[in-house]
Amino acid sequence: MKNLIIVESPTKARTLNRFLGKDYDVQATMGHIKDLPKSKLSVDLEKNYEPDYQVVKGKSKTIKSIKDSSSKAENIFIATDPDREGEAIAAHVKEIVGNGKTKRIVFHEITKSAVEHAIANPGKVNVDLVDAQIARRVLDRLVGYKASPILWKKVRRGLSAGRVQTVAVRLIVEREREIEAFKPEEYWEIFVEVTRKGSIPKQVRASQSTKSERDDKAGIDSLPALSKKDNAVEKFTIQLVKIDGKKADIGSESQAKAAVGDLEKADYKVSEVKKRQISKNPYPPFTTSTLTQTASRFYGWSAKKTMTVAQRLYEEGLITYHRTDSTNIAKPAMDAVRKFIEVKYGSNYLPEKPRFYKTRSKLAQEAHEAIRPTDVNQEFKMTKKSFVKDGERLYDIIWKRFVACQMSKAVYDSTTIDVLAKTEKSPEYILRVSGQIMKFDGWRKVIPPRKASGQKGSPARWDEEPQLPDVEKDDELKKLKVDPQQKFTQPPARYNEASLIKTLEKMGIGRPSTYAPTISTIQSRNYVEKNEGRFFATPIGFAVSDFLVKNFENTFDYDFTAEMEDHLDEVAKGETDWHKMIDNFYKPFSKKLDDVEENAKRVAIETEKLGKKCPTCNKEGRTGDAQGELVVRTGRFGKFISCSNFPDCKHTEKYMDKIGMKCPECGNGDVIVKKTRRGRQFYGCSNYPKCEFASWKKPQKD
Which CATH number do you get for residue 364? 1.10.290.10
Strands 186-196 and 681-685: unpaired
Amino acid at 546: D
Q: What share of the chain in percent tops pLDDT 90?
A: 65
Beta bridge partners, 78, equal: 6, 104
- The string of DSSP codes covering 289-310 is HHHHHHHHHHH---HHHHHHHH
Any domain includes 150: no
State residue 455's pLDDT score: 38
Residues 424 and 373 occupy one common structural domain? no
Residues 107 and 177 occupy one common structural domain? no
Beta bridge partners, 256, equal: none
pLDDT, one tens digit per residue, over 483-537 is 999 999 999 999 999 999 999 999 999 888 889 999 999 998 889 988 888 999 9
State residue 1's pLDDT score: 60
pLDDT, one tens digit per residue, over 287-330 is 999 999 999 999 989 999 999 999 999 999 999 999 998 899 99
Is 220:342 a contact under the CB 8 Å cutoff? no
Residues 120 and 18 occupy one common structural domain? yes
Last residue of a domain, one of 430, 465, 488: 488
Residues 175 and 207 occupy one common structural domain? no
State residue 367's pLDDT score: 53
Any domain includes 141: no
Strands (E), 13-126: 24-28, 34-35, 43-44, 50-51, 54-55, 76-78, 102-104
Helix, strand, or coil (residue 288)? helix
CA dihedral 199, 202, 208, 214 (to 10 degrees): 140
Last residue of a domain, one of 559, 579, 599: 599
Any domain includes 131: no
Q: How many CB atoms lie within 10 A of CB 330?
A: 15
DSSP 532: T
Residues 399 and 415 occupy one common structural domain? no
Any domain includes 662: yes
Residues 6+ apart with CB under 8 A from 131: 571, 572, 578
Residues 385 and 468 occupy one common structural domain? no
Distance in angstroms (rounded) separating the CA atoms of residues 305 and 391: 11
Of 440, 623, 550, nearest to 173 (Cα)?
550
Q: For 525-606, where are the alpha helices, taking DSSP H only?
A: 539-551, 558-572, 578-599
Residues 576 and 617 occupy one common structural domain? no
Helix, strand, or coil (residue 619)? helix
HEC profile of 177-232: HHHHHCCCCEEEEEEEEEEECCCCCHHHHHHHCCHHHHHHHHCCCCCCCCCCCCCC
Residues 276 and 422 occupy one common structural domain? yes
In Å, the largest CA–CA distance within the chain is 99
CA-based angle 499:396:517, to the nearest 5? 40
Distance in angstroms (rounded) separating the CA atoms of residues 181 and 431: 34
Residues 307 and 272 occupy one common structural domain? no
Distance in angstroms (rounded) separating the CA atoms of residues 614 and 629: 5
Residues 6+ apart with CB under 8 A from 183: none
Distance in angstroms (rounded) separating the CA atoms of residues 433 and 50: 66
Predicted TM-score (pTM) above 0.85: no
Alpha carbon 627 to chain centroid distance? 47
Residues 6+ apart with CB under 8 A from 277: 216, 219, 220, 411, 412, 413, 414, 439
In the set 53, 314, 321, 515, the catalytic residue is 321
State residue 609's pLDDT score: 82
Of 494, 572, 508, 586, nearest to 537 (Cα)?
494
State residue 658's pLDDT score: 84
Distance in angstroms (rounded) separating the CA atoms of residues 642 and 603: 19
Put residue 58 in one of left, alpha, beta given phi > 0 → left and psi -120 to 50 → alpha: left
Any domain includes 142: no
Any domain includes 143: no
**Residue 620 binned pLDDT confidence (cut-offs 50, 70, 90):** confident
pLDDT, one tens digit per residue, over 110-163 is 999 999 999 999 999 999 999 999 999 999 999 999 999 999 999 988 889 999
Active site residue 683: no
Total of domains in the chain? 5
CATH number at residue 563: 1.10.460.10
**Residue 679 binned pLDDT confidence (cut-offs 50, 70, 90):** low
Residues 6+ apart with CB under 8 A from 528: 169, 172, 522, 535, 536, 537, 538, 541
Last residue of a domain, one of 404, 431, 449: 404
Distance in angstroms (rounded) separating the CA atoms of residues 26 and 638: 43
- The string of DSSP codes covering 469-496 is ----TT-EEEEEEEEEEEEE--PPPPP-
Residues 480 and 511 occupy one common structural domain? no
Any domain includes 146: no
**Residues in the chain, total:** 702
State residue 204's pLDDT score: 38
- For residue 621, CA distances in Å to 41, 332, 627, 650 come to 47, 81, 8, 15
Amino acid at 606: E
Distance in angstroms (rounded) separating the CA atoms of residues 30 and 172: 35
Is the Cα torsion angle 371, 375, 379, 384 positive or negative in sign? negative
Residues 6+ apart with CB under 8 A from 185: 251, 488, 489
- Helical pair 10-20 and 303-315, crossing angle rounded to 10 deg: 20
CATH number at residue 91: 3.40.50.140
pLDDT, one tens digit per residue, over 361-390 is 544 444 578 999 999 998 787 766 667 899
DSSP helix, strand, coil percent of the chain (3-state; round to 5): 40, 20, 40
Residues 371 and 230 occupy one common structural domain? no
Strands 102-104 and 76-78: parallel
Whether 346 has a pLDDT exceeding 80, the answer reads yes
Is 661:652 a contact under the CB 8 Å cutoff? no
Weakest-pLDDT range from 12-21, 408-417, 504-513, 625-634: 625-634
Question: In the predicted model, what is the mean pLDDT of the chain?
Answer: 87
Residues 199 and 58 occupy one common structural domain? no
State residue 101's pLDDT score: 83
Domain that holds residue 365: 288-404
Distance in angstroms (rounded) separating the CA atoms of residues 180 and 316: 47
| 397-411 average pLDDT score | 96
CATH number at residue 197: 2.70.20.10
pLDDT, one tens digit per residue, over 221-262 is 444 444 444 445 678 999 999 999 999 999 999 999 999 999
Any domain includes 139: no
- The string of DSSP codes covering 222-267 is TSPPPP-------EEEEEEEEETTEE----SHHHHHHHHHHHHH-E
pLDDT, one tens digit per residue, over 46-102 is 999 999 999 999 999 999 999 999 988 989 999 999 999 999 999 999 999 886 789
